[in-house]
Structure 1
Amino acid sequence: MTSTPADAPLHPDRQQEASALSAQGRYAEAFDVLAALVGTHARADDADLAETLHLAALCALGAGKTDAAHALWQRCIDAKPAFVDAWHGLAAMLTALGQWPAAETLWRRLLAVAPAHADAHSNLGIVLHRLGRAQEAELAYRMALAQQPGHVDAHYNLGIVLQEAGRGDEAEAAYRAALAANPHHARAHNNLGTLLRARGRLDEAEEAWRQALLAEPQYPEALNNYGALLKSLGRLMEAELACRLAIKIRPDYVEALNNLGCVLTELKRQPEAELLYRQALALRPGHVEAHYNLGVALQQLERYPEAETAWRTALRLAPAHAQTLNNLGGMLGMLGRLPEARAMLEQALECDAHIAQTHFNLGGVLKELGALDEAEAAYRRAIALAPDYGDALFRLATLLITMGRYEEGWRLYERRYENAGFVHFASREMLGCAQWQGEPLAGKSLLLWQEDGLGDMLQFARYARLLKDLGAAHVAFGCVDALHRVLAGVEGIDAVLSHAEAAARTTQLNSQLNSQFNSPVDPRFDYWASPLSLPLHLATTVDTTPPPIRIDPDPALVHKWAARLETLGAGPRIGLVWKGNPKHHNDPHRSIPSLAALAPLWSVPGLKFVSLQKGAGEDEANAAQHAGAGARQPILHLGAEIADFVDTAAIVAQLDLLICVDTSTAHLAASLGTPCWVMLPGRDVDWRWLHAREDSPWYPQTVRLFRQSADETWSAPIERVRQACVERFSR
């Protein structure tokens, strides 16, 4: 009888050839060989062919022929239900293809055939985890470990489930068990690193990622995670390298692109960071963190509309992303869009009330809106969440001083010395003698040390005479050169020194030199203090504010400048300063944009204007001075000729009035006894001027304040100044 193809005998040599091809990874060729042996349909002898069918299925899978592999394994199972390898192969393929329900069914059928099959329990756990059934997955992994205690994958995958459940101790134990069984399991090292970092054990986390990369140097996830850790440790150059290596291995690795952008943002390389964020978003437009980080970089580049767009895109994707709401609210506040900022920050707090920075930002917005009590409460909540929040402590201190609540305000203001971001922090390290905290001063030598601006020093130099009244034998003032001549001779100040000279006299070395070698070097100071700390130590209140220093101008300089001022002719002499130091943090608000804005003052009859403007604004003053006889308002520009404060003092002493913005010249004028009208901005008014007052306890006889409301342009306070000029000089 002629045999049919279904009955054809096997050819061991052909099967051996297929096995060899398969071992070489030549799966398609191996499958062609085996397909000719087993055919494409079920055969009566499939039970005998089970091993060959299984090998053919494996080769089909290797060749990408999943349907053929499925059919071949199904033939195995149908013909030989107890053939575990067929169940395992088909279940593993469906698992790899993400066909989770079908895979679950097959793993469970395999376990019905072989209940002690540890791999089947472990793989069933993977499927159950993907199906969102974490508790069942945990049980499956534990069943695998009951059958095989050293099952590496079961330990590893159990660790993942436990880590996601927040069971950190158990997850760590599971990862370490996997590593005990296989010390080179890179993914277990990687996940352990993530767990340890989240638990604050950064040194151990770093070691875990080092081990992951030793085991698998081309492991992009470990490189990216290690880079993120290095960034958090401030090791930015190493972090950049790690992230770049991850991207080199996987150019479309969105998380690494985003992380590298964060590193470059921290390195102040925002344009490069922007490109990386945009590259990440081109690959994954819905990546919330990349939109958020792009906004951060754009804000730092002062491209505020683009930053707002980036953050609003992030919020469309994740409306409850509290950090985005916080940053956008903070930027809107900075841009003066206060009602929008308030609403945004309050929304952020609804999403997460535990972000100290959001309370801080809200406090700033509320202060600018005039809601001082609410601002105070917001700052206090920020500090309750972050007790060492230096900026919040400083803002609360200045707010309380603004409100006239000096006792607590000055006490909190002293904590500026704890803020590493402030210049004051360095003073304690630099100066070698004790910082004065109110100890008895009888017979002691004390250094007043300038840390703050020129105006601050003129304002608070008044405390020198109070220190002398307390018995201080010697009070010196260490300050910048610009203050030396104007402070020399001020009551209570025995000597004016450069910072270098003053610092040298605080060191123990100077004292030793003086005693051992009978050196002429002046003796060491007993104490040092910032002039701005003295209201605290001397218990100043609004009602007990000491009178200002009295500066006497140099007679020779008065005579010199008198000749220049005489060229104005008869009439009240009005000094003008409309811009401050452009480096001041609030200069965009406190400075008037141009001299032209003061034009309404020109309409007051008889006034003679003198420009004391130096630096910014001088070009306008020069142009006005040389505009010719037909100019609407001639102005005498002296700013370019002024050498220092002593020159300014000699001029201001001969003026009838100084009209200025909030600059050091206001303090100089008030200390000379010259009337001074200060125009204050509607935003971020300095604490020294208190809240809503038109006068100043610091200069009760000389200073008058003209405040810009939050909704006003400069034209409004300038008009009020014009009206005041009419009232004063048109009588």
Structure 2
Amino acid sequence: MPSIDQIFEHALSLQQQGQPALAIDIARSGLAIAPEHAGLWQCVAECASDRQDYTLAEQGWRQLLALQPDSALGHHHLAGLLVQQQRHAEAEACYRRVIALAPGDAAPLTNLGLLLASQRRDEEAEQLQQAALALYPHSAQIHGNLAELLARRGSYAAAEAHYREAIRLAPQTAANHANLGVLLHDLGRQQQAEACFRAALRLRADHPQARMNLGQLLLAQGRFDEGWPHHEARYDTPAMQAWLRQRAAAPCQPWRGEPLAGKRLLVLPEQGYGDDIQFCRYLPWLKAQAPAWLTLVCRTPLKPLLATLQGPDALFTRDEALSVIDDYDYWVYPLSVPLYHHTRLDSIPGTQPYLGATEERRAQWQTRLPAGGLRVGLAWQGNPAHANDRERSLPDLMPLTPLWTVPGVQFVSLQMPREPAPPLAMPEFALTDLGSSVADFADLAAIISQLDLVICVDTAIAHLAGALGVPGWVLLPAYKTDWRWLHGRSDSPWYPSLRLFRQPQRGDWDTPIAEVVQALAALAARRAAAG
């Protein structure tokens, strides 16, 4: 019978050979003999993590820590495991324990900094990254971590300096070039950003972040021919790649532009509601490719609205589609269709309006709309989970109050109940609140279709107004402006009924709102003159 040391060596050998399942089996056989062998528990934990068996991995690290409570390694690995499971408070406690046990180690400092940054505890996170850098000033990774945080806090020059130092320290690491490219892109330095993304792709042609960001830069410049292929890097995330591998032998495969005649195609939702509204315009073109059956899948709040779309033979929610996906030949995401449509600025499909409101829904809301005057809908905030929501949304309704200086206008709140409109102290700030009562996007469409104008931030309501062909004025942030609004334009080739009002610099909402007030006054005056 092998000794416990021989069993341990065997388990480690299997682990090093990339056979984690077998290594776990051997380690467990040793633990049955020697349950207090810390090395075997570590082997189990590491191999279980490799197999994404987080329950077993956590058990392994906790068993090791029961035997060696002062193991900085054990606490550090357990912290990383807890972060993966979104158990942030427990992870923070573990990282702080590591810092106490190993005060000269930069790794727990930078990792705790990343964790706190993910919770928007930016000041503490920056202190931790600075402390980590003081211990390990030649770490390109820590320079990059600090740079990302500084950029988010508006310290752009310092962020750029740290990104460039990361490149100097590790010039062959594609991610360093890609990260600097993101910062430069966000700052409007397009030519330099493009050079960074291309440098990253020379080092690693399949780098997903560089491809994705280069794609969005090109799309924002209207360079669609090259932009759409790079935009397909959305498929290169670990989660998507795992799903594709899982479905490698399934009957329904990703559509990559193959002929659709006689085939069954399923169009799946991705990203946000606005994306679904914008890109459902491609369904009539897909139907024109003569598939035997074309099904559009959507999230439940969109289903009644998308029932007004021409093109699909059937409309399912995501839950409804799960049981039938393998009855289809192909599936595709809507943001991939422009690649195979060969969309350019002058060939964007979808004559407005391509969505509508039913007469029944319109009648339900008609009596709740204000009578007389210019009827203007307002939406000042988007989904708070959006990565750039702090930039694209207004803090509340108050920045829009200059709109009430324009006579002859009746304002309607389209704001969903993320945050109710604050009470306005003066009676002249009249606002009809309808947004808090809507059940779905079909209700919003029924309301918007009976308005003269929508004024909103970059949220799904902007896309809905555009898809309905209703005039809309969209307030856009200067920082991380979404690619689909293109650079430097006040119009949108995607939505002819929309007009864009841009911040001249980050945080300056006063300027575009003042421009909106001026434009609204002119519109109201024309309306009054027309009688």
Give the TM-score of the pair, scaled to structure 1.
Answer: 0.63
| Contact 1:190/1:222, CA 8 A, preserved across alignment | no
State which of 237, 250, 255 in structure 2 corresponds to 1:436.
255
**8 Å CA contact 2:23, 2:43 repeated in 1:** no
Residues 694, 706 of structure 1: 8 Å contact kept = yes
Q: Which residue of 2 aligns with 1:583?
A: 385
Shift of 1:371: 1.7
Distance 1:548 1:333, change over 3 A: farther
Distance in 1 (alpha carbons) for counterparts of 2:61 and 2:28:
14
Q: Is the 8 A contact 2:218 2:226 kept in 1?
A: yes
Q: What is the CA distance between 1:655 and its match in structure 2?
A: 1.5
SS in 2 for 1:299: helix
Contact 1:401 1:410 in 2 (8 A): yes
1:597 aligns with 2:399: yes
Q: 1:438 to 1:234 in 2, by over 3 A?
A: closer
Q: Which residue of 1 aligns with 2:176?
A: 358
CA 290–492 in structure 1, closer or farther in 2 if over 3 Å, else same: closer
Q: 1:214 and 1:386, CA in 2 relative to 1: closer, same or farther beyond 3 A?
A: farther
1:454 to 265, 273, 280: 273
Q: What does residue 466 of structure 2 align with?
A: 670
Partner of 1:541: 344
CA distance in 2 between counterparts of 1:612 and 1:531 reads 26
Which of 696, 702, 724 aligns to 2:519? It is: 724
Check conservation: 2:268, 2:296, Cα contact below 8 A: yes
Rounded Cα–Cα distance in structure 2 between residues aligned with 1:710 and 1:233:
47
**2:104 match: secondary structure:** coil
Deviation at 1:639, TM superposition (A): 1.4
Change (3 A) 1:589 1:503: same
1:712 aligns with 2:507: yes
Shift of 1:426: 6.4
**AA aligned opposite 1:561:** W
Give 3-state SS (helix, strand or coil) of 2:267's partner.
strand
Structure 1 vs Structure 2 CA RMSD:
3.7
Distance 1:195 1:715, change over 3 A: farther
8 Å CA contact 1:590–1:681 kept in 2: the answer is yes
Matched letter for residue 99 of structure 2: L
Q: Does 1:615 align with 2:417?
A: yes
Over 3 Å counting, the alpha-carbon distance change for 1:297 and 1:224 in structure 2 is farther
Supply the distance in 1 between the matched residues of 2:241 and 2:408 (Cα, whole angstroms).
46
Whether the 8 Å CA contact 2:7–2:27 is kept in 1: the answer is no
Q: 1:572 and 2:377 equivalent?
A: no
Alpha-carbon distance between aligned partners in 1 of 2:321 and 2:40, rounded to the nearest angstrom? 53
Task: Please give the alpha-carbon distance, in whole angstroms, between the structure 2 residues aligned to 1:421 and 1:684.
Answer: 24
Letter in 2 for 1:726: A
- Per-residue deviation at 1:725? 1.6
Residues 1:267 and 1:638: Cα distance change in structure 2 (over 3 Å): closer
Counterpart AA for 1:632: E
User: 2:413 is matched by which residue type in structure 1?
Assistant: S
Aligned position for 2:362: 558
Distance in 2 between residues matched to 1:597 and 1:588, nearest whole Å: 15
1:84 aligned partner? none
Q: 1:374-413: CA deviations, max 9, x gaps? A: 3233334444545544344333322221121212221222
Q: For 1:462, what is the secondary structure of its paired residue?
A: helix
Structure 1's 499 and 673: CA in aligned 2 closer, same or farther, altered over 3 A? same
Q: In structure 2, do the counterparts of structure 1 residues 427 and 671 end up closer, same or farther at CA, with 3 Å as the change threshold?
A: farther
Matches within 5 A, 1:113-132: none
CA deviation after TM superposition for structure 1 residue 541, in Å: 0.6
Paired residues of 1:314 and 1:324 also in contact (CA < 8 A): yes
In structure 2, C-alpha distance between the alignment counterparts of 1:445 and 1:237, rounded to whole Å:
40
**Paired residue secondary structure (1:410):** helix
Map of 1:341 onto structure 2: 159
Do the aligned residues in 2 keep the contact of 1:490 with 1:549 (CA within 8 Å)? no
Could you say what secondary structure the match of 2:386 adopts?
A: coil
TM-score for the superposition, normalised by structure 2: 0.85
SS at match of 2:239: coil
- Rounded to whole Å, the distance in 1 between the matches of 2:262 and 2:42 is 63
Q: Deviations over 1:396-446 (max 9, x none)?
A: 322221121212221222342343435995699498434433333445554
Structure whose CA Rg is larger = 1
> For 1:554-585, what per-residue CA distance to the aligned partner results, in whole angstroms no more than 9, with x for missing partners?
234434433322xx343211110111122333
- Cα displacement (A) at 1:191: 13
Separation in structure 2 between the aligned mates of residue 416 and residue 526 of structure 1, nearest angstrom: 22
More displaced stretch, 389-398 vs 224-233? 224-233
Find the aligned partners of 1:378 and 1:340 in 2 and give their Cα distance: 18
632 and 250 in structure 1: CA distance in 2 versus 1, 3 angstrom threshold: same
Correspondence 1:416 to 2:234: yes
**How far is the alpha carbon of 1:253 from its aligned partner?**
3.9
Q: Tell me the SS of whatever aligns to 2:89.
A: helix
Query: 365-374 or 430-439, which moves further after superposition?
Result: 430-439
CA contact (8 A) 2:27 2:44 kept: yes
3-state SS of paired residue (1:485): helix
Q: Quickly say closer, same or farther: Cα 1:268–1:424, change in 2 above 3 A.
A: closer
Q: Distance in 1 between matches of 2:13 and 2:260?
A: 57
Q: Note the alpha carbon deviations across 1:269-301, whole angstroms, 9 max, x for none.
A: 333333333334334422222322332333344
2:196 is the counterpart of 1:378: yes
Partner Cα separation in structure 2 for residue 644 and residue 619 of structure 1: 19
- The amino acid of 1:704's aligned partner reads R
Aligned to 2:304: 485
Q: 1:225 deviation in Å? A: 7.0
**2:285 maps to 1:466:** yes
1:323 aligns with 141
Specify the SS of the correspondent of 2:443: helix
Q: Does structure 1 conserve the Cα–Cα contact (< 8 Å) formed by 2:284 and 2:310?
A: yes
Contact 1:190 1:208 in 2 (8 A): no
Residue 396 of structure 1: aligned partner: 214
Q: Are the aligned partners of 1:419 and 1:425 in contact in 2 as well (CA < 8 Å)?
A: no
Q: Which residue of 1 aligns with 2:529?
A: none
One-letter amino acid of the structure 2 residue matched with residue 433 of structure 1 = C
Conserved 8 A contact 2:14-2:20 = no
Q: Look up the equivalent residue of 1:723 and give its one-letter code.
A: Q
CA distance in 1, matches of 2:4, 2:313: 73
Matched, 1:293 2:95: no
CA distance in 1, matches of 2:261, 2:479: 44
- For residues 220-267 of structure 1, the C-alpha deviation after alignment (integer angstroms, 9 at most, x for no partner) is 677657755654554444444444455445544444443443344344
Task: Determine if the alignment matches structure 1 residue 531 to structure 2 residue 334.
Answer: yes
2:493 paired with 1:689: no
What is the DSSP-based 3-state SS (H/G/I as helix, E as strand, rest coil) of the residue aligned with 1:684?
A: coil
Cα 1:661–1:204 shift into 2, 3 Å? same
Gaps of 5+ in 2: 527-531
- 1:245 and 1:490, CA in 2 relative to 1: closer, same or farther beyond 3 A? closer
In 2, the alpha carbon distance for the partners of 1:186 and 1:445 equals: 59
| Letter in structure 1 aligned against 2:395 | P
From the superposition, tell whether residues 203 and 643 of structure 1 become closer, same or farther in structure 2 (CA, over 3 Å).
closer
Distance in 1 between the 2:30 and 2:171 partners?
A: 37
For the residue of structure 1 that corresponds to 2:276, the secondary structure is: helix
Question: The residue matched to 2:446 in structure 1 has which SS?
Answer: helix
**CA drift at 1:662:** 1.4
3-state SS, counterpart of residue 660 of structure 1: strand
Of Structure 1 and Structure 2, which has the larger fraction of its residues in helix? 1
Q: Secondary structure at the match of 1:302?
A: coil
Q: Provide the rounded CA distance (Å) in 1 between the counterparts of 2:462 and 2:315.
A: 22
Structure 1 residue runs of 5 or longer lacking an equivalent are 1-182, 509-524
- Offset, 1:596: 0.9
String of CA shifts for 1:446-493, please: whole Å, max 9, x gaps. 433333433222222222222344444654322233333323343334
1:646 alignment partner, one of 438, 442, 449: 442
